[in-house]
């Protein structure tokens, strides 16, 4: 495992996290060996006075302008889909219609100040658009040089497989990255988790099997630390996580953390990074201290016994 396996989540850069702090975090991440930055064109409309997104992309663009040469050192990932049609009203979003995607990538590239986005995500499902059209449109972005690689987020496994079958049949670019959420502890099945409103946003056993059998598909994990619930008493796990499996897993997690002299959240990141399949956690931080903890987690080594104990707890 290495720092370059971590992804720096930039969701609140330019809104909740001010410009000075955001720039410092970006500098620190790259200096430590980090390479991958994850954002979206809708970030963070809910934290913006305008009710529209784009602030995170704009801040990243300004950081790149202030640091000539750093563009070659980083991988820029951004997304399209959930931006509200009416600013501030998330009940209706722009979705994945071909004209929306074509227009959105141009706007994202302008805010980022780049010719090419390294990884472009279909951020959510849009079943109002035929999947064939989604595949064709995203493939066009690669063919015309605006995007280097494609990702798909918050989609069920069968739709990911179908999309890539369509891409293969059409001879166009497939989706080679999948972004979902999971963590060491998981909520009860068939429960609604506050703040997680994507029906197919969670990793399942089927997801793990699919990624394992398709090694060309990378798995990225958002919210891997459940908003700090492992390490902060003021941020308890949401109610759907309250079940015996969580109790048993947390007990083993704290044992291993004590053995390593690490925080539980750091062990969770190490567990994700070193698993089979490996999962790339997206770490959202708002201070240098939080970033340093995440960076240290990338160097944390779980021995076979520790990993086996963590895996076996149910």
| pLDDT per position as a tens digit, 102-156 | 999 999 999 999 999 999 999 999 999 999 999 999 999 999 999 999 999 999 9
| pLDDT per position as a tens digit, 189-228 | 989 998 888 899 999 999 999 999 999 999 999 999 999 9
What confidence tier does 249 reach under pLDDT thresholds 50, 70, 90? very high
Residue ranges and CATH numbers for the domains of the chain are 3-312 (3.20.20.100)
User: So what's the pLDDT on residue 206?
Assistant: 96
Which residues, other chains included, contact 197 with Cβ-Cβ below 8 Å and sequence gap of 6+?
none
User: So what's the pLDDT on residue 2?
Assistant: 87
Q: How many CB atoms lie within 10 A of CB 16?
A: 15
Higher pLDDT, 12 or 199: 12
> For the whole prediction, is pTM greater than 0.85?
yes
| pLDDT per position as a tens digit, 257-274 | 999 999 999 999 999 999
| pLDDT per position as a tens digit, 36-68 | 999 999 999 999 999 999 999 999 999 999 999
Catalytic residues: 43
pLDDT at 251 over 90: yes
| pLDDT per position as a tens digit, 68-92 | 999 999 999 999 999 999 999 999 9
Average pLDDT over residues 236-244: 96
Strand partners of residue 282: 7
């Amino acid at each position: 495992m290495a720092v370059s396996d971590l992804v720096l989540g930039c969701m609140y850069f330019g809104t909740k996290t001010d410009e000075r702090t955001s720039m410092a975090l970006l500098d620190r991440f790259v200096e430590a060996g980090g390479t991958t930055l994850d954002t979206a064109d809708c970030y963070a409309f809910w934290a913006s006075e305008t009710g529209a997104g784009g602030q995170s992309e704009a801040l990243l663009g300004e950081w790149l302008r202030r640091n000539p040469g750093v563009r070659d050192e980083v991988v820029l990932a951004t997304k399209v889909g959930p931006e509200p049609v009416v600013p501030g009203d998330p009940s209706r979003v722009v979705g994945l219609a071909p004209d929306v995607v074509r227009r959105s990538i141009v706007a994202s590239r302008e805010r980022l100040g780049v010719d090419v986005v390294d990884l472009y995500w279909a951020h959510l499902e849009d079943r109002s658009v035929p999947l064939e059209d989604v595949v064709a449109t995203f493939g066009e972005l690669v063919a015309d040089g605006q995007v280097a690689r494609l990702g798909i987020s918050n989609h069920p496994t069968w739709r990911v497989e179908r999309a890539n079958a369509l891409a293969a049949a059409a001879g166009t670019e497939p989706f080679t990255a999948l972004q979902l959420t999971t963590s060491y502890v998981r909520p009860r099945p068939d429960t609604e988790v506050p703040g997680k409103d994507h029906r197919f946003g969670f990793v399942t056993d089927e997801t793990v099997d699919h990624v394992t059998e398709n090694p060309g598909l990378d798995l990225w994990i958002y919210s891997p630390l459940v908003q700090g619930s492992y390490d902060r008493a003021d941020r308890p796990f949401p109610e759907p996580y309250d079940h015996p499996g969580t109790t048993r897993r947390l007990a083993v997690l704290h044992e291993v953390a004590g053995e390593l002299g690490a925080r539980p959240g750091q062990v969770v990141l190490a567990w994700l990074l070193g698993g089979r399949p490996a999962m790339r956690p997206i770490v959202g931080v708002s201070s240098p201290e939080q970033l340093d903890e995440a960076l240290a987690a990338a160097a944390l080594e779980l021995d076979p016994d520790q990993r086996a104990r963590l895996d076996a707890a149910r």
